[in-house]
């Protein structure tokens, strides 16, 4: 049995994608082990294509893995479900549904009565700052607003763990900062366990308790950087020396990995 | 601020809307037709070429319409055609949507059916109509079959494309939140494919109307197509034009009805239209 101190445990995870046409297979994860505490905010960074999205999809149970185990609250993860909330990179809202009906999707899929689900959704829509937009369609919203819906949709199922795949990647710099601050505020209120994938080192450090740096493919965990900047954090911590030093450190690790992966890609390209 | 008051427009706003302009255009067109006919009737050519056997004026068409209506003949023909249309169209929907769906989702079914669909779709119905009449005789059902052959393919093919182009990220979304395959089907595939399917229905309406006329030319004892053909053989242009007008009005009404259905089940459609699939073959 797991110690209750760990919310999510990943042990010796391996995964390869086999292509249908050729014999070749792409080894994505060599051997990944990670323990996440309850209410911990973890960020995942690493070179592009190293397998961050794949990692989240495996954690959610959307795709299978080859070896190793994943335990959520001590139970093996086999399929997606309401114990996990997924926030997609592109907001993936259903265009034929209003904000309200997009937010209740998860509850609806569990068979919760629509009226009750809508009542519950009101609170989450306010939480993400979209009160008054319940009856708007996604195409009537800005990118930032769509991402808020995306977030509310994941929060409403009250998941044990929130998996977020570059949720702010498509936003402009200002909106992004605002959303980061809002996310922290919401996290303070809900205290969910969060796994947050991002390309932006600043963002990772600002949000997280720990930053996990993946190596280039086949990915292993290259390093785990602890962020001990006290909370609540305001945007101004981004200019403190402690913050900038951390960012430098993470940056230099990733740079190494990016150079490695680019080198390998070039080799593969020449073959 | 300008000091000079703008002259009040003499025509009120509603009378200048694009819908009204469209109506004026039609009215003027019909007026020109009427005047041209009157003019022609005053020339010696009218008698010489027996033009009254080839052309009718709008007023004559209206008059003939009244006569055919009162005698019950128009109703009989319209009813017959409407039944053919309805049977054929409903059958097309009932067959086209499920088969299109199966072909889009089951590779084996697609491989088996694709050559058949391509061949039958490519065969001109005008070529198939006589043989169907020979096999099944005169009546509503063989004619409905011809209507079906025309209408089923746009529905089938658009359903196929619609289902094929359902966005994968939306499917993944529903799966990520624990949706079952059945929920994926009803909550993503059907709604995402709906605009394409409705576009197919619109195409099918036009082809079904053509199917009605073609079927009745080759063999029928009633129907609007039959009526058009019959009176043209008698050199009576009045009923011919009445038949054409009724068919056109029927086609237009069906289009409007489908637009309403579309607006009703997919208010997001204006946004969807930008997706490429719906550019296919329309209008
Ligand atoms: N369904 C799949 N089939 C085959 N290979 C895949 C599949 N999904 C991902 N891959 C491969 O697995 C590797 C990791 O992909 P993944 O999308 O997880 O990377 P990522 O770290 O999220 O990249 P990015 O930072 O660019 O989003 C890539 O090399 C990709 O080509
Ligand atoms: Mg990714």
A27-52 pLDDT, tens per residue? 899 899 999 999 999 999 999 889 99
Residue A130 lies in a domain: no
* CA–centroid distance, residue A83 to ligand 1 (Å): 24
User: Please, which residues bridge with residue A41 across strands?
Assistant: A194
pLDDT band at B61 (very low <50, low <70, confident <90, very high): very high
- Report CA-CA distances (Å) from A69 to A72, A83, A97: 10, 17, 37
pTM of the model: 0.75
What is the ipTM metric for this complex?
0.83
pLDDT band at B269 (very low <50, low <70, confident <90, very high): low
Of B207, B194, B186, B168, the C-alpha closest to B100 is B194
* CA–centroid distance, residue A53 to ligand 2 (Å): 4
What tokens were used for B78?
Answer: 């319209």
What tokens were used for A84?
Answer: 């996990």
From the CB of A26, is ligand 1 less than 6 Å away?
yes
pLDDT band at B136 (very low <50, low <70, confident <90, very high): confident
Backbone φ and ψ for B106, nearest 5 degrees, come out as: -110, 110
pLDDT digits (tens, 9 = 90+) for A168-212: 888 888 888 988 998 998 898 889 999 999 999 999 999 999 999
Pick from A25, A26, A257, A269 the residue to mutate for probing ligand 1's pocket: most ligand atoms within 8 Å of its CB. A26
> Is A188 exposed, middle or buried (CB count within 10 Å of its CB: 0-12, 13-18, 19+)?
exposed
Size of interface A-B (CB pairs under 8 A): 59
Closest atom of ligand 1 to A57 CA is 18
DSSP H helices, chain B, are: 18-41, 44-48, 58-71, 73-105, 107-122, 125-136, 140-164, 168-176, 181-184, 190-218, 224-233, 237-265, 269-272
The CATH number given to whatever domain includes residue A167 is 3.40.50.300
- ∠ at Cα A168 (A196, A207), nearest 5°? 45
Helix (H, G, I), strand (E, B) or coil at A11: strand
* DSSP of B137-173: -SSHHHHHHHHHHHHHHHHHHHHHHHHHTS-HHHHHH
Of B170, B178, B267, the CB nearest to A80: B178
The per-residue pLDDT of chain A, averaged, comes to 89
Does residue A185 or residue B271 have the better pLDDT?
A185
Residue A8 lies in a domain: yes
Mean pLDDT of A121-125: 92
Q: Give the separation between CA A116 and CA A107, rounded to whole angstroms.
A: 9
Q: Which residues of A touch B175 (CB under 8 A)?
A: 62, 80
B245: CB partners within 8 A, 6+ apart: B61, B65
Give nearest CA residue, ligand 1 atom 29: A49
Q: Is the pLDDT assigned to residue B100 strictly greater than 80? A: yes
Mean pLDDT of B187-194: 90
Give nearest CA residue, ligand 1 atom 8: A54
Q: Give the separation between CA B97 and CA B103, rounded to whole angstroms.
A: 10
DSSP H helices, A135-221, are: 143-156, 173-190, 201-207
What tokens were used for A161?
Answer: 């763990």
pLDDT band at B278 (very low <50, low <70, confident <90, very high): very low
From the CB of A258, is ligand 1 less than 6 Å away?
no
Nearest CA in chain A to B170: A92
Q: Give the separation between CA A106 and CA A120, rounded to whole angstroms.
A: 12
Eight-class DSSP state of A224: E
What tokens were used for A39?
Answer: 């209410």
Identify residues whose C-beta is under 5 A from ligand 2, the ion.
A 53
Residue A254 lies in a domain: no
Domain of residue A192, residue span: 1-83+159-235
DSSP H or E run through A194: strand A193-197
- Residues belonging to chain A with any Cβ–Cβ distance to chain B shorter than 8 Å: 60, 62, 79-82, 84, 86, 88, 90, 92, 94-96, 105-106, 108-110, 137, 139, 153, 157
How long, in residues, is chain B?
Answer: 283
Give nearest CA residue, ligand 1 atom 28: A49
Q: Give the separation between CA A86 and CA A59, rounded to whole angstroms.
A: 10
Q: Give the separation between CA B245 and CA B26, rounded to whole angstroms.
A: 13
Give nearest CA residue, ligand 1 atom 18: A51
Give nearest CA residue, ligand 1 atom 22: A53
Of B169, B178, B194, the CB nearest to A109: B178
Q: Give the separation between CA B4 and CA B17, rounded to whole angstroms.
A: 26
Q: How many CB atoms lie within 10 A of CB A44?
A: 27
Orientation of helix B73-105 relative to helix B140-164, angle to 10°: 40
Pick from A27, A28, A48, A264 the residue to mutate for probing ligand 1's pocket: most ligand atoms within 8 Å of its CB. A28
Report pLDDT for B280. 39
The per-residue pLDDT of chain B, averaged, comes to 87
- Report CA-CA distances (Å) from B98 to B92, B106, B144, B205, B206: 10, 12, 19, 18, 21
Q: Give the separation between CA B278 and CA B264, rounded to whole angstroms.
A: 18
Number of domains in chain A: 1
Of the candidate CATH numbers 3.30.470.10, 3.40.1390.20, 1.10.3720.10, 1.10.3730.10, the domain formed by B56-281 belongs to 1.10.3720.10
């Amino acid at each position: 049995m797991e110690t209750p101190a760990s919310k999510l445990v990943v042990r010796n995870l391996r995964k390869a994608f086999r292509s249908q046409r050729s014999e070749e297979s792409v080894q994505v994860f060599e051997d990944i082990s990670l323990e996440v505490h309850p209410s911990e905010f973890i960020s995942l960074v690493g070179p592009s294509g190293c397998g961050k999205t794949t990692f989240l999809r495996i954690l959610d149970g959307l795709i299978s893995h080859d070896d190793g185990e994943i335990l959520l609250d001590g139970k093996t993860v086999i399929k997606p479900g309401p114990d996990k909330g997924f926030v997609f990179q592109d907001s993936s809202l259903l265009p034929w549904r209003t904000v309200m009906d997009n937010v209740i999707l998860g509850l609806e899929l569990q068979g919760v009565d629509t009226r009750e689900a809508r009542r519950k959704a009101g609170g989450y829509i306010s939480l993400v700052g979209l009160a008054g937009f319940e009856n708007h369609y996604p195409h009537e919203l800005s990118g930032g607003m769509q991402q808020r819906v995306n977030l509310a949709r994941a929060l409403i199922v009250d998941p044990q763990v929130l998996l977020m795949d570059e949720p702010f990647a498509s936003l402009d710099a200002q909106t992004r900062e605002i959303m980061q601050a809002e996310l922290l505020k919401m996290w303070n209120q809900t205290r969910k366990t969060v796994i947050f994938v991002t390309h932006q080192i600043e963002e990772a450090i600002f949000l997280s308790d720990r930053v996990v740096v993946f190596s280039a493919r086949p990915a292993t965990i290259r390093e785990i950087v602890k962020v001990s900047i006290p909370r609540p954090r305001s945007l101004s911590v981004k200019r403190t020396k402690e913050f900038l030093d951390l960012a430098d450190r993470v940056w230099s690790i990733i740079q190494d990995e990016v150079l490695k992966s680019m080198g390998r890609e070039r080799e593969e390209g020449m073959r | 601020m300008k000091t000079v008051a703008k002259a009040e427009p003499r025509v009120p706003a509603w009378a200048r809307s694009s819908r009204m302009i469209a109506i004026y255009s039609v009215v003027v067109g019909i007026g020109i037709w009427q005047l041209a006919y009157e003019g022609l009737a005053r020339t010696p050519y009218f008698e010489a070429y027996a033009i009254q056997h080839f052309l009718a004026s709008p007023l004559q068409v209206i008059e003939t319409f009244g006569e055919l209506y009162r005698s019950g003949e128009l109703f009989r023909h319209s009813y017959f055609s409407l039944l053919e249309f309805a049977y054929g169209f409903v059958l097309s929907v009932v067959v086209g949507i499920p088969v299109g769906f199966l072909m889009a989702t089951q590779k084996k079914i697609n491989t088996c059916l694709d050559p058949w669909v391509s061949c039958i779709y490519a065969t001109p119905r005008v070529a198939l109509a006589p043989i169907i009449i020979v096999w099944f005789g005169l009546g509503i059902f063989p004619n409905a079959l011809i209507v079906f052959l025309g209408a089923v393919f746009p529905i089938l093919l658009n359903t196929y494309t619609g289902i094929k182009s359902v966005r994968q990220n939306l499917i993944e979304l529903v799966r990520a939140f624990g949706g079952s395959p059945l929920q994926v089907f009803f909550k993503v595939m059907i709604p995402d494919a709906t605009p394409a399917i409705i576009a197919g229905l619109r195409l099918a309406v036009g082809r079904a109307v053509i199917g009605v006329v073609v079927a009745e030319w080759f063999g029928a004892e009633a129907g609007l197509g039959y009526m058009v053909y019959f009176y043209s053989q008698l050199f009576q242009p009045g009923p011919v034009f009445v038949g054409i007008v009724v068919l056109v009005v029927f086609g237009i009404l069906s289009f409007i009805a489908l637009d309403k259905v579309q607006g009703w089940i997919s208010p997001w459609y204006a946004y969807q239209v930008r997706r490429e699939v719906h550019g296919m073959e329309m209008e």
